Amino acid sequence: MNEPVTDAIKMVDLRVDYGDFAAVDSLSLSVPFGEVFGLVGPNGAGKTSSFKVLATLMEPTFGEVFLCGIDIALQPERARQVLGYMPDLAPVPTDLKCWEFLDLYAAAHGLPEIERHLRIGECLEKVDLEDKREAICSSLSRGMKQRLVLAKTLLHRPKVMLLDEPASGMDPVSRAALRNTLRSLADEGTTVMVSSHILSELADMCSSVGFMAGGKLVDAGKIDDVLARQGSMRRQIKVQMLDESSVPACRQALSDAGIGVVDAVGALLKFSMEGEGGEQVRLLKRLVDQGLPVRSFEEKRTSIEDVLLDLDQKHHEQQGGKN
């Protein structure tokens, strides 16, 4: 008996080589239905190669990939029926009208003619391009083209969507619309895997995230869990003094508390420290007890960007160590 499929995306021990260079190495990952998953990593981390393998555009050296339980190596055509892929640079044909471009792909995905007309209208509405139905694709702005390709990706109601830098070229309004579209898709049960360099947006968009570095998956999970895991060791603290004259005394107090590296900009001091809430309370009490005029004391929440920068640094250190 077949087991029920619980994961929309499942990669098992995936490897992609370019000559002697392993772009993706031992990547195993499962993403359930209805998740908006962000794949994050510095340049050369293996994100694009992983996306291309998932999109059936590239054959991995080895490893298995299942989309909604379909083995993409064995049934690529079936896998493509459940898949929507939007590349980072979304080119459109120069000789077709917007509705003709969408009709081509709606037909290619087997939508019946009567349904096609309605579906094209729906998708154009979703990306706010209803008024461009009869326009020639090449006359659209870059952001509009990106939205048109998003509409194309939505046509066949894919269960898995892969979006590589979907927001590039979009204005802030379009980006907000994209966020909403992706969220509503996830609510309908579609799994979205997205990569973006605009990390603040990823945090708003995604429910879970995976970090890649050097071709390997370093960590993955719900955003809060990952950030907690990756950011638990060192926390960024900002201390705002009443005036600049108290900064040297505060530096000294921090140094006495074992905090060596402190950045100061005007009356603002920034440093990182280990430990959780209790440690911070003790440090604040120490500063106040010494009569230092502390105006505010706050912990800056670890962001995806912090983790990414940290990973990148670790990766470079490891590479340096190997060499």
Partner 1 sequence: MGRDGDSVPSWNLAANPIFRRYARSRLRPKALIPWMLVVGILATFVFLAVWVGGTRNGIDTVVVGRTVLMVMVPIQAFLLMLIGTGAVASGIMLEGADGGIEYQRLTPLSPLTKIAGYLFGLPVREYCLFLVTLPFTVIGAVSGEVPIGLLLSLYVALITSAVLYHLSGCVAGMVVNRRFAGRIAQLMVIVLYLVLPQIAKLGFEFFSYLTILPVLSEVMGELVPQGRVIFDQVFGTGSRSVSLFGIEVEALPFSLLIQGTLIMTFVIILYRKWRQPTHHMLGKNFAAWLCIWIHVLLLGSTIPLIDSGDIFPTQLQGRFQRQARVRAQAELVREFGELNPEMRERLLRLDSRRSKQPMHAYWLSASYGVGALLLSCGLVLIITPSRDEFTKALRRKRKLDRSRVPLNADGASAFLHVVLIALAGAVAWSIFCSEMFGSRWFTEQFMGEEAPHFSMLALRLVPFSQLLFVLVFWAVLEWGERRTLLLFVLFGWVVPVLAAMIFMIAGERFHNLAIALGGISAFPSPFYAMSFPLEEQIPYLKQASGTFVAVVALYAVLVVWLIRHVKRRHEEIRHRVEDADAPPAASREIS
Q: For 230, which DSSP code?
A: H
Token pair of 276, please? 């959780």
Give the range of 10-18, 127-135, 163-171, 248-256 binding partner 1 by CB under 8 A. 10-18
Interface with partner 1: number of residues (CB under 8 A) = 60
* Residue number with CB closer to partner 1 (92 or 262): 92
Q: In whole angstroms, how far apart are CA 188 and each of 5, 8, 84, 209?
A: 17, 13, 15, 20
Helix, strand or coil, per DSSP, at residue 131:
helix
- The dihedral built from the CA positions of residue 63, 66, 71 and 73, taken in this order, carries a sign that is negative
CB 140 within 8 A of CB 151: no
Return the structure tokens found at 211.
């970090």
Q: Decide if residue 208 touches partner 1 (CB under 8 A).
A: yes
Q: Looking at 194-202, 218-226, 272-280, 297-305, which segment touches partner 1 (CB under 8 A)? A: 218-226
Task: State the helix-helix crossing angle for 247-256 and 277-289, rounded to 10 degrees.
Answer: 130
Q: Are 148 and 126 spatial neighbours (Cβ–Cβ below 8 Å)? A: no
CB of 125 to partner 1, least distance (A): 22
Cα angle at 55 between 11 and 41, to 5 degrees?
A: 65
- Torsion, Cα of 187, 188, 190, 195 (10° steps): -40
Residues 6+ apart with CB under 8 A from 156: 81, 84, 105, 106, 109, 110, 111
Query: What are the strands of the beta sheet with 36-40, ordered from one edge?
Result: 83-86, 160-164, 191-195, 36-40, 208-213, 216-222
Considering the complex, what minimum distance in angstroms separates the CB of residue 223 from partner 1? 10
Question: Residues 5, 32, 251, 297: which binds partner 1 (CB under 8 A)?
Answer: 32
Applying CB under 8 A, which part among 171-179, 211-219, 236-244, 297-305 lies near partner 1?
A: 211-219
17 binds partner 1 (CB under 8 A): yes
Measured from the CB atom, the residue of 226 and 239 that comes closer to partner 1 is 226
Record the tokens describing residue 319, joined without a space.
């590479």
310 binds partner 1 (CB under 8 A): no
Structure token digits, residue 181: 């579209």
- What mask, x for binding partner 1 by CB under 8 A, covers residues 44 to 73? -----------xxxxx-xxx----------
Residue 290 near partner 1 by CB under 8 A: no
Closest contact distance (angstroms) between CB of 150 and partner 1 is 13
Q: Does 202 bind partner 1 (CB under 8 A)?
A: no
The minimum distance between CB 209 and partner 1, in angstroms, equals 9
**Residue 157 interacting with partner 1 (CB under 8 A):** no
| Among the residue ranges 20-28, 246-254, 261-269, 296-304, the one whose residues contact partner 1 (CB under 8 A) | 20-28
How far apart (Å, rounded) are the C-alpha atoms in residues 290 and 301? 27
Q: Is 90 in the site for partner 1 (CB under 8 A)?
A: yes
Complex with partner 1: residue 100 or 128, whichever CB lies closer: 100
C-alpha 129, offset from chain centre: 25
Footprint (CB under 8 A) of partner 1, residues 220-239: 220-222
**80 binds partner 1 per the rule CB under 8 A:** yes
91: which 2 tokens? 């080119």
Q: Where along the sequence are the contacts to partner 1 (CB under 8 A)?
A: 7, 13, 15, 17-20, 25-32, 35, 37, 55-59, 61-63, 75-78, 80-81, 83, 85, 87, 89-96, 100, 103-105, 107-110, 152, 208, 210, 216-222
